[in-house]
Amino acid sequence: MEDKQLEQLLTKALSSTVEPSEDLNLIIKNRVKENKTMKPVHKRMAVALIAAAIFIMSGSAFAAWQLLSPKQVAEKLGDKALAKAFDSENAIQINESVTSGDYTFTLHGITSGENLSDFKSSARDILPDRTYAVVSIAKKDGTSIAKAGSEDGSEDYQELNFIVSPLIKGQKPWQVNIFTMNGGYSECVVDGVIYRMVDCDNIEMFADRGVYLYVGTGIFINNQTVNYNEETGEITLNENSKEAGALFDLPLDVNKADHEKAQKYLKELFPESSPESSPSDFESAAEDSSFVNWEDKLDGAVVIPESIKEVTCDENGYAYYEYNRDSLSFLLDSMLDVLESGEWKTVRISDDDKQIKAIQFSKDENDVIIGRTLSKSK
Amino acid sequence: MDIDSLLMLYGKDVYGFCLRLAENKENADDLYQDTFLKALELTNRIDKSKNPKGFLVSIAVGLWKNKRRKYARRKRIAPEVELNDEIGGSIPCADTPTPEEIVISRERCELIRNEANKLSDRLRIPLYMYYTAGMSVEDIASALKIPQGTVKSRLCKARKILKNVLEGYVWKINN
């Protein structure tokens, strides 16, 4: 087939003539308008006072008393029911601060339960049992998060991006996070500090496993911001991250853990396998359900000579192996960590009616990874 | 740039990209909506990027990666209309004269779409950015923060895979 012909076919097949419906565009426009009108008015207060307090008080004692309480934040956002919930015994007041990069991140409090909020959303309608957390983000130097000279920082601060997400110990952060847990947030800027109220499916069911709350600059959760330890399930901040970030341990009541419910919840996210060994869809073989002893299944399999090749790498640290339309990509460093020099490890196995195929990797003394494919007839 | 201008200028391309990536209309609608809402939070960056479409598509990719489990879950809970029903018929694949050629052309297009969908995201995303969103190699590299050479190599790999599939199909109908 000629390249030109292929190009034409691909263009025809993959281009799209479908336009978004007018209704859909209207929803977006309305939501933009709603966000603008719902944004609480920014009141200017003595920034110098806050700056002084930050200067004097460091570490976890960061001037949390100067900041709004979760109840006040809920009130600012116009959610009276939630404000009441944050005032109840069920709510946990935390007030812990971490300074990272140019920012001080404070976790104020958290509460969970059914129908706690006045506001309706599709996620809340489907799963009314929610967790709400209030965090604040302030500039480390005490200046306003809004641009200097701005009377109302509500427009200017939007140049900054922050992500707040619960993470579950034992679950890969890029798989189980605010996005997958039906999360959302609303926020306001008060006295130069951003207050963000995040909500997601109730995380108390995971209380016995360990739950974190990540707060940081950026838009997404990925391996640039946090590390995940495959063996222990621990999640830690990536020290090499260019983003500022904090990872809080949430002091949830272990008695509220519900192992069965948590398993069921995770099973819905990972139906193909048990939650603890759920396969990665981030194309990382190293993240894949670790190395299983498949040697018995592969007994008698033959290495395809032409499949033996060095993996290719890109500058983002991803390596790539492909043979006969079977491809695999993974984080190079993660893979190097688990490979033993000179030993082949099976990273993927697949079978159909006729044959079993496996991809194996090995590394040499110079940390060059070689891939190969094995085949065995059934 | 305001929301009306963004939607008018880039809505179609971004929506097409979301449809390909998300595989069904409901997820695509969500991804499209979230992309624009997120983009509006980042208005200053859009203006600074001088490449609004690339910026929007890169947001869609990021959201997709973080949300795909959620999408997959919803898809399982409520199976939706197949993407092919939604857009397959609207793509002008059949511009050949005879009925037989029309059928073959349609089949080939469907085959390409199905096979493209099976590719890993590393190949699939640049492929859709290039053919569906109509982005240049340079813009894709910038949006994905990877070298242009890597984009070219991924596109080349994707094309090679699809070419093999198509050649297999041609062999099949000739025999």
Q: Where are the domains of chain B?
A: 3-174
pLDDT (0 to 100) of residue A351: 64
Percent of residues, chain B, with pLDDT higher than 70:
71
Chain B positions touching A281 (Cβ under 8 A) are: 68-69
Q: Please provide residue A343's backbone torsions phi and psi, each rounded to the nearest 5 degrees.
A: -110, 140
Best residue of A7, A18, A167, A318 to probe chain B, by most B CBs closer than 10 Å: A18
- Residue keyed to tokens 């599709």: A122
Helices (DSSP H) in chain A: which residue ranges? Answer: 3-14, 22-38, 47-56, 70-76, 80-86, 122-126, 259-269, 332-338
The reported pLDDT for the residue numbered A234 is 94
Kindly list the residues from chain B whose CB atom is less than 8 angstroms away from the CB atom of residue A322.
157
A318, A123, A94, A121: which is closest to A215 by C-alpha? A94
| Nearest-neighbour CA in chain B from A175: distance (Å) | 7
Calculate helix-pair angle for B3-22, B121-131, nearest 10 degrees.
130
**Chain A residues within 8 A of B12 when measuring between CB atoms:** 16, 18-20
- Cross-chain Cβ contact A220/B62 below 8 Å: yes
Q: Are residues A139 and A219 in the same domain?
A: yes
Q: State phi, psi for B51 to the nearest 5 degrees.
A: -145, 70
Contact assessment for residue A135 and residue A129, using Cβ atoms and an 8 Å cutoff: no
Query: Could you report the per-residue pLDDT of A169-228, keeping only the tens digit for each?
Result: 999 898 888 888 877 788 888 888 899 988 888 999 999 999 999 999 877 788 878 999
- Give which of A236, A55, A198, A199 is closest to A138, Cα–Cα: A55
Buried b (16+ CB within 10 A) or exposed e, A215-247: bbbbbbbbbebbbbeeeeeebebbeebebbbbb
**B108: nearest CB among A9, A175, A316:** A9
Q: Give the burial class of A135: count Cβ atoms within 10 A of its Cβ; 0-12 exposed, 13-18 middle, 19 or more buried.
A: buried
pLDDT of residue A155: 43
pLDDT at A86: 94
Say yes or no: B88 contacts chain A, CB-CB below 8 A: no
The more confident residue out of A49 and B95 is B95
d(CA B145, CA A162): 20
Whether the CB-CB separation of A264 and A218 falls below 8 Å is answered with: no
A377 φ/ψ angles, rounded to the nearest 5 degrees:
-75, 145
In this structure, the answer to whether residues A206 and A252 fall within a common structural domain is: yes
State whether A354 and A271 are in the same domain.
Answer: no
First-to-final CA distance of chain A: 34
- Whole-number pLDDT of residue A227: 92
Give the residue-averaged pLDDT of B152-166: 90
> How many residues does the structure list for chain B?
175
Please tell me which of the candidates B69, B121, B128 has its beta carbon nearest to residue A14: B128
Q: What was the pLDDT predicted at B88?
A: 40
In a domain, A81, yes or no: yes
Query: Residue B173: its pLDDT value, please?
Result: 60
CA distance to A209, A233, A267, A317, A329, per residue, from A173 (Å): 14, 10, 16, 19, 19
Q: Provide the token pair at A83.
A: 């404000």
Please indicate whether, in this complex, the C-beta atoms of A281 and B68 are within 8 angstroms of each other. yes
B3, B66, B122 ranked by CB distance to A283: nearest: B122
Mean pLDDT lowest among A38-47, B46-55, B63-72, B103-112: A38-47
At the topology level of CATH, where does B3-174 sit?
A: Arc Repressor Mutant, subunit A (1.10.10)
The per-residue DSSP string of A339-370 comes to --BT--EEEEEEE-SSEEEEEEEEE-TT--EE
Least confident among A161-170, B49-58, B66-75: B66-75
Q: Is residue A366 part of a domain?
A: yes
Q: What is the DSSP letter of A299?
A: T
The answer on A270 and A320 residing in a single domain is no
The mean of the pLDDT values for chain B is 77
User: Do residues A287 and A280 make contact, with C-beta atoms less than 8 angstroms apart?
Assistant: yes
Q: Please give the pLDDT value at position A55.
A: 28
Amino acid identity of residue B97, one-letter, is P
The yes-or-no verdict on residue B15 having pLDDT over 90 is: yes
Q: Which of A212, A242, A277 corresponds to the end of one domain?
A: A277
Q: Does B170 contact A1 at a Cβ distance shorter than 8 Å?
A: yes
Q: How far is A27 from chain B (nearest CA, A)?
A: 8
Residues in chain B within 8 Å Cβ distance of A8 = none
Q: HEC states along chain B?
A: CCHHHHHHHHHHHHHHHHHHHHCEHHHHHHHHHHHHHHHHHCHHHHHHHCCHHHHHHHHHHHHHHHHHHHHHHHHHHCCCCEHHHHHHHHCCCCCCCCHHHHHHHHHHHHHHHHHHHHCCHHHHHHHHHHHCCCCCHHHHHHHHCCCHHHHHHHHHHHHHHHHHHHHHHHHHHHC
Q: Across the interface, do A180 and B70 touch by the CB < 8 Å criterion?
A: yes
Domain boundary among A262, A277, A292: A277
Q: Do B33 and A27 touch (CB under 8 A)?
A: yes
User: Does residue A111 contact residue A131 with C-beta atoms inside 8 Å?
Assistant: yes
Residue A10, domain member (yes or no):
no
On chain B, the residues whose CB falls within 8 A of the CB of A176 are 69
Task: Give the domain range for residue A369.
Answer: 302-377
Tokens of A42: 């920014």
Where among A223, A242, A277 does a domain terminate?
A277
* Inter-chain contacts counted by CB atoms under 8 A, chains A and B: 163
The HSE-up count of residue A354 (CA atoms within 13 Å, CB side) is: 1
CB < 8 Å from A in window 135-174 of B: 145-147, 150, 153, 157, 159, 161-164, 166-167, 170
Q: In total, how many domains does chain A have? A: 2
Q: Say if CB A145 and CB A160 are below 8 A apart.
A: yes
Residues 310-329 of A with CB under 8 A from B: 312, 314-316, 318, 320, 322, 325, 327-329
Residue A293 belongs to a domain: no
Inspect the interface and report whether the beta carbons of B62 and A219 lie closer than 8 Å: yes
Same domain, yes or no: A181 and A130: yes
The answer, for A38 touching chain B at a CB cutoff of 8 Å, is no
**b/e for A166-199, b at 16 or more Cβ within 10 A?**
bbbbbbbbbbbbbbbbbbbbbbbbbbbbbbbbbb
Q: Of A18, A159, A283, which has the smallest distance from its Cβ to B120's Cβ?
A: A283
Residue with tokens 């305001």: B2
Contact A194, A187 (CB under 8 A): yes
The yes-or-no verdict on residue B45 having pLDDT over 80 is no
**Structure-block tokens of residue A168:** 């579950």
Structure tokens that stand for A258 in this block = 């519900």
* pTM for the predicted model, two decimal places: 0.48
Interface check for B11 against chain A (CB to CB < 8 A): the answer is yes
A139 found inside a domain: yes
Determine whether the interchain pair B66/A271 forms a contact, defined as Cβ–Cβ distance below 8 Å.
no
| pLDDT lower than 70: segments of chain A | 1, 34-65, 120-127, 146-160, 270-297, 314-318, 325, 327, 329-331, 333-334, 337, 349-353
pLDDT for the residue numbered A288 = 35
- Tell me, what's the pLDDT at A177? 86
Taking CB atoms and an 8 Å cutoff, what residues of chain B touch A279? none
Task: Measure the CA–CA gap between A237 and A79, rounded to whole angstroms.
Answer: 32
Who among A161, A283, A318 is closest to B42 (CB)?
A161
Q: Are B16 and A18 a contacting pair, CB within 8 Å?
A: yes
- The answer to whether the Cβ–Cβ distance between A10 and B159 falls below 8 Å is yes
Mean pLDDT of B83-106: 54
Exposed e or buried b per residue across B96-107, where buried means at least 16 C-beta atoms within 10 angstroms of its C-beta: eeeeeeeebbbe
User: Are B93 and A13 within 8 A, CB to CB?
Assistant: yes
Q: What percent of chain B has pLDDT over 90?
A: 20
